[in-house]
Amino acid sequence: MNWINILGLVAATLTTFSFLPQMLKTWQSKSAKDVSFAMLIFFNLGIFLWLIYGIYLNALPIILANAVTLFFNLIILWFKIKYR
Amino acid sequence: MNWINILGLVAATLTTFSFLPQMLKTWQSKSAKDVSFAMLIFFNLGIFLWLIYGIYLNALPIILANAVTLFFNLIILWFKIKYR
């Protein structure tokens, strides 16, 4: 695997799993007051489009990053709705 | 411009500007308690690597998205440090 794909996979891993601590924090604290609802809506929509973009280009780092990011952020959105 | 670049630019615009409402909310409320510090650190680091990835591939949507996202998220990180 050439270095640019490795860079993409490292970037994808960092940005993707960065939402795990946010998900856990919101789940544990049962509080999402400071997390912007508008951000979650637009971000989830955008990540969904990035996923289509990655699939079309067959770019593995983009596909992996956005599929998992979408999963985490839909859960954070659900917590935001649940805990307000 | 072909449709896949338009899709990338729309995805980039959505994910990038989704952080604007989070930045404004944190700035107005002077509160970032519910925003995960670990998320901001890993996310900013990952976005920086995505920026290098986009520059190397000369992919305009990826470059634009990540340069502006990095800008917004560094400000949110600064607010998080400032307002805790």
Residue range B20-24: mean pLDDT, rounded: 95
Arithmetic mean of pLDDT over chain B = 92
Alpha helices in A1-84 (DSSP H): 3-17, 19-29, 37-57, 60-83
How many other CB atoms are there within 10 angstroms of residue B5's CB atom? 13
Residues from chain A that touch B53, judged by Cβ atoms under 8 A, are: 4, 7-8, 11, 61
The type of residue at A75 is I
pLDDT at A53: 93
pLDDT at B39: 95
Q: Is B15 on the interface with A (CB under 8 A)?
A: yes
Task: Give just the sign of the alpha carbon dihedral B11, A65, B70, B79.
Answer: positive
pLDDT at B60: 83
Q: What is the CATH number of the domain that holds A77?
A: 1.20.1280.290
Task: Give just the sign of the alpha carbon dihedral B6, A46, B12, A67.
Answer: negative
Residue range A49-57: mean pLDDT, rounded: 94
Nearest Cβ partner for B47 among A7, A15, A33 = A15
Domain count, chain B: 1
From CA B9, how far away is CA B3, in angstroms rounded?
A: 10
Give the least confident one: A39-48, B18-27, B58-67. B58-67
Arithmetic mean of pLDDT over chain A = 92
Entry pTM: 0.86
pLDDT at B27: 93
pLDDT at B14: 94
Q: Is the Cβ pair B18, A34 closer than 8 Å?
A: no
Domain hosting B72: range is 3-82
Reported as a pLDDT band with limits 50, 70 and 90, residue B37 is very high
